[in-house]
Amino acid sequence: MTVSVDIDGGVAIVTIANPPVNAINRTVRERLLSLAQEFDGDPAIRTVVLTGVGALFVAGADIAEFDRPVEPPFLPDVIARIERAGKPWIAAIRGAALGGGLELALGCRLRVATGTARFALPEVNLGIIPGAGGTQRLPRAIGVAEAIRVVAENHTVDAAEAVRLGLVDALIEEPLLPGAIAFAREVLEKTLPPPSLDRPLSAPAQEVWTEAEKRIASRAKGASAPLQALEALKCGIEQGAEAGLARERSTFLSLRGSEEAAALRHLFFAERAALRPADIRGIAPRPVATASVVGGGTMGSGIAAALLNAGLSVVLVEQDAAGVSRARDTIAGLFEASRRRGHITGEELAERLGRLETSIGYDGMERCDLVIEAVFEDLAVKRAVFAALGRICRPDAILATNTSYIDPRLIAEGLPGPERFLGLHFFSPAQIMKLLEIVPTPETAPDVLATGFDLARRLGKIPVRAGICDGFIGNRILRRFRAEAETLVRGGVPIAAVDAAMRSFGFAMGPFEMQDMAGLDIAFLHREAARARGEPVPDLPGDLLVRAGRKGQKTGGGWYDYAPGDRRPQPSAEAERIIAPLIGPRKDMAGEAIVARLMAAMAQEGQAILEEGIAASAADIDLVEVHGYGFPRRRGGPMFQLGRADVNHA
Ligand code: CAA
Ligand code: NAI
């Protein structure tokens, strides 16, 4: 039974039991509605305590239902019925009351909660706005300024703040139910406060709206829901709750059917599925308390910082004293930046650095449960590292490489115990980027693979399993994406037009701006190496630019020019002149057509990756793009785009 009822001396205890998160689906709505009617007609019942089974109250509406048309009874009607019930309903909240869960609690006459309770309206993360009165009842319960933060800015209210704001009427120690029942009996003897929707509310000063609009728009990155949530809230204050409710519902329904919301739902489920792939379910990961990072350059320092942030102890190995002190300074600098931004305190900074040990050579390695190699991208150098690790590390220690392109099987050749080896491909900056490509070899043991996924979870990252091919999933698609962008430019489409189209689609940067930032030389050196091996690699515009000394921002120019100290790209007559021999007559192309071409190229590469079994699912490919390559979240990813009718497969 998804909603159960117990009666305790005139108090009906209604428990929503819809594991894992007590989401409100149609059955829950039907049952709550009929119970509200039933209790009102039952003279033996004086009051109702509404709670959820397990560690949380209710995580909101069942998001899985959002792909189907809305079905009655509608949640706003259920909540309105509870709010107007003859027998007062009291919400007893443990853990999260989110989205529709908070809206349901707001429909109750009073709310009690344990210290673990937290309240949020995370709908805007899903491209929608609250759809069951949240934008109207919340400001009337806690005030407009605070409600704006919750409704449109994703603020989570904890139990203490909820009491201070009047969202919670009493804090109750566990066990929650007996306390809530006693509270219910007690309040029956008193005058109850009015329902949330009937509470008086005064309009705030105009600046409150203008400032909120400015703040929200600047953070929305093109997403439409946050501003619309604010609009619904504002409508209810300026025109009254009834108009506000109508506005909220119509906005909710239209956003619910939008592309943006479908994309965000797709990612919501993909992100959760990613942490628990079917083939390692039930396999216990190996314990990892101390990890080593070999190589403390760009990646090694970031990986060490990520491990330290997650509470692990780290032994960082470098080649010499200069390498060690550079790595330590980099990591300390990353923590210092977090402290300045207020993310960690001075004590936390010191504690994290206290867990960092540095070493020249492999002292301390025998203590490590996991080693992540991040030395130069050179097979001989990496093999020498693993030869040493094979001798020194415990036989059960997991050994991982962060290689971007080298076949992990070649790196592991000759390693004693190859079943403990795998690729853990982090993205730069590794302490920030959420993606972790996990690349097992055919010999990797299942519990070693499971440890990779568990590590990702501990680091707060999104793991995606990738098969072995040149560039794994992400870099392989990136290469195709860039090649297609260059094909457009070689066909006469202006460089700046390609970048502008991708920015307007939602990327922070276009492909040429991105190359200028990262540097054109690494890809150039790859091509030169292939040419030196006798492979037929034709000259590309990027080769001409690098040969002319234009390696990107670091040399003052690449595809674009850059004024000293200014990262803004300026169209470059010089670059155009250099690449002119490879460029066709100018061709103007609409932004949407450019986007469609590049999307189709990415999706085609993704399709090939799927067919070859390099990625386990299309959703995994989308996660790689969104969390590793800046693909705009609200667009869902290239494979999601492929599945939508509006993609023009050019
Ligand atoms: N609907 C359907 N399924 C949900 C769900 C929801 N609202 N919330 C979580 N789930 C599912 C997850 O997909 C996951 O399923 P699998 O086990 O099959 O992968 C399972 O519940 C557990 O979720 P998590 O892995 O995320 O568990 P967690 O303990 O890490 O986090 C949580 C729990 C904080 C509740 C988190 O799941 C969460 O933030 N959920 C979404 C909350 C949300 O956005 N609510 C608003 C919904 S929209 C709404 O309510 C609008 C309205 O009009 C009423
Ligand atoms: P880097 O050049 O910044 O750092 C490499 C570090 O390894 C240097 O500090 C060097 O002193 C050290 N090193 C070299 N040999 C060593 C040895 N035998 N023992 C100990 N330390 C040694 O290189 P970066 O960019 O950090 O790349 C490292 C690895 O990560 C490469 O395999 C690269 O392909 C991969 N990678 C790089 C990404 C990036 O964006 N830079 C992204 C993802 C993976």
Residues with active-site annotation: 103, 123
Rounded-to-integer distance, Cα 518 and Cα 572, Å = 18
Closest CA to ligand 2's atom 31: 377
303 alpha carbon to ligand 2 midpoint, in Å? 11
User: CB of 558 closer than 6 A to ligand 1?
Assistant: no
pLDDT of residue 650: 41
373 alpha carbon to ligand 2 midpoint, in Å? 8
* Residue from 293, 359, 375, 473 to probe ligand 2 pocket by mutation (most atoms less than 8 Å from CB): 375
| CA dist list (Å): 388 to 133, 294, 315, 376, 383 | 63, 11, 15, 16, 9
| CA dist list (Å): 233 to 80, 195, 202 | 18, 18, 13
* Residue from 2, 16, 18, 21 to probe ligand 1 pocket by mutation (most atoms less than 8 Å from CB): 21
Which of 205, 403, 207 lies closest to 295 in space, CA to CA? Answer: 403
User: CB of 133 closer than 6 A to ligand 1?
Assistant: no
DSSP assignment of 245-285: HHHHHHHHHHHHTSHHHHHHHHHHHHHHHHHS-GGGTTPPP
Q: Which ligand is nearest to the CA of 128?
A: 1
Closest CA to ligand 2's atom 28: 374
Closest CA to ligand 1's atom 35: 59
pLDDT of residue 645: 55
Q: Which ligand is nearest to the CA of 96?
A: 1
User: CB of 248 closer than 6 A to ligand 1?
Assistant: no
Q: If phi over 0 gives left and psi between -120 and 50 gives alpha, with beta otherwise, what is residue 637?
A: left
Rounded-to-integer distance, Cα 101 and Cα 85, Å = 18
Rounded-to-integer distance, Cα 644 and Cα 650, Å = 14
Neighbours of 434 (CB within 10 A): 16
Q: Which ligand is nearest to the CA of 120?
A: 1
Residue 539 corresponds to which tokens in the numbers above? Answer: 């000259």
* Residue from 29, 63, 135, 138 to probe ligand 1 pocket by mutation (most atoms less than 8 Å from CB): 63
**Any idea what the Cα angle at residue 600 is, between residues 596 and 604, rounded to 5°?**
175
Three-state SS letters, 380-447: HHHHHHHHHHHHHCCCCCEEEECCCCCCHHHHCCCCCCHHHEEEEEECCCCCCCCEEEEEECCCCCHH
Closest CA to ligand 1's atom 25: 272
User: CB of 337 closer than 6 A to ligand 1?
Assistant: no
Q: Which residues line ligand 2 (CB under 6 A)?
A: 294-300, 317-319, 323, 374-377, 381, 385, 402-404, 426-428
Q: What residues form DSSP beta bridges with 28? A: none
Given the CA of residue 131, which atom of ligand 1 is nearest to it? 53
Closest CA to ligand 1's atom 10: 21
Q: Which ligand is nearest to the CA of 297?
A: 2
pLDDT of residue 647: 43
| Backbone CA torsion sign across 21, 638, 618, 426 | negative
Closest CA to ligand 1's atom 20: 20
pLDDT of residue 523: 86
pLDDT of residue 649: 43
pLDDT of residue 221: 82
Q: Which ligand is nearest to the CA of 229?
A: 1
**Residues with pLDDT less than 50, the chain:** 647-650
- Give me the sheet containing 96-98, strands edge to edge: 96-98, 118-120, 157-158
Which residues contact residue 71 at a Cβ distance below 8 angstroms, ignoring those fewer than 6 apart?
26, 65
User: CB of 436 closer than 6 A to ligand 1?
Assistant: no
Rounded-to-integer distance, Cα 436 and Cα 153, Å = 28
Given the CA of residue 296, which atom of ligand 2 is nearest to it? 9
300 alpha carbon to ligand 2 midpoint, in Å? 6
pLDDT of residue 222: 83
Which of 368, 361, 367 lies closest to 318 in space, CA to CA? Answer: 361
Given the CA of residue 317, which atom of ligand 2 is nearest to it? 20
Given the CA of residue 373, which atom of ligand 2 is nearest to it? 29
